[in-house]
A and B are shown apart, each in its own frame.
Chain A
């Protein structure tokens, strides 16, 4: 490792390092749109890591599972309606999803409802 990289490694925080490695990982996957470049209402494939999860009751009382997805370039909200939990979907899970983002009224972030998704196994080779 060159000295410059070593120096950088010592001077950046853990948080920034995690963010960088996440960004690197996401950018290495083929054929997807970066969350920072998401266009509303276009069907697109996106990847990222779940940063946080929460259950939000909708107005009619059904639970909605809301995940915040991060890929180092931007963030996206995923909503699964009528769900409290989904096997394998936890903070830290990385996934590939396909959907048409709209604008989330509460957070002003792009949101995708009930997307088609695939979990990326933690120890998978980057392919």
Chain B
């Protein structure tokens, strides 16, 4: 796979070296000539190709070979740069998959398909989700948004008061557009059958649509 990464900061370089190690074709675009020189000398990045240039300029994007890239990762520390890179990659170069880094959580609402972003990654939001997951039994925790918020992967650890405890998977499905993806019970992953019964303490992973959030909460969590 041919991956173009914009930004040779810590995030960009980490992705680059990881991907290069798994034999992907990696190009890193960076404005700062000195930074590129330093990174080129560093070890573990022998197979990474560097391009010095401003990825927000169409003329320079031709140099990075965006028209043949399978994935573009906008990983700079500036949200405005990441957005412009995403927009150009998607609309001018028809890149199939555009991934953008959100630096300031307040800017996250902008990282959507209008700006050419397929997937956005925001470290603060990710951390919040992980913290929530650690502290909550009986809360619906949002783990991942697919397709710009159309569907999401959520996780619930069933509390004793949960209305879903004792229900079978098919009963849960009948009441709502919920795909139960997996049940984790006693450290074992169970692929759910229609007749599997949910128990207190189960970690239930589900794919639901964004609109169904309240329904899911009503079904799986008893409101206090």
Please list the residues of chain A having a beta carbon within 8 angstroms of any beta carbon in chain B: 40-43, 58-60, 62, 81-82, 100-103, 113-114
Contact = CB atoms under 8 A, between A and B. Distances in A.
Contacts of B149: 59
Given A41-B67, A59-B148, A59-B149, A102 B94 contact: yes
**Nearest 6 pairs of A and B residues by beta carbon:** A102-B94, A113-B91, A60-B112, A100-B94, A41-B94, A59-B148
B67 A81 contact: no
A59 B113 contact: yes
18 contacts: A40-B94, A41-B67, A41-B68, A41-B94, A42-B67, A58-B113, A59-B112, A59-B147, A60-B109, A60-B112, A60-B114, A62-B114, A82-B114, A100-B67, A101-B94, A102-B95, A102-B96, A113-B91
B114 A58 contact: yes
Given A59-B148, A59-B150, A100-B67, A113 B113 contact: no
Interface of B: 67-68, 90-96, 109, 112-114, 147-150
Contacts of B90: 113
Contacts of B95: 102
Given A59-B113, A114-B91, 15 more contacts: A41-B67, A41-B94, A42-B67, A58-B114, A59-B112, A59-B150, A60-B112, A60-B114, A60-B148, A81-B114, A82-B114, A100-B92, A102-B95, A102-B96, A113-B91
Contact of B93 (A58, A82, A100): A100
Contact of B112 (A40, A41, A58, A103): A58
Nearest to A62: B114
Contacts of A41: 67-68, 93-94
Contacts of A100: 67, 92-94
A103 B112 CA distance: 18
User: Which of A62, A82, A102 has the most C-beta atoms of chain B within 10 angstroms of its own C-beta?
Assistant: A102
Contacts of B109: 60
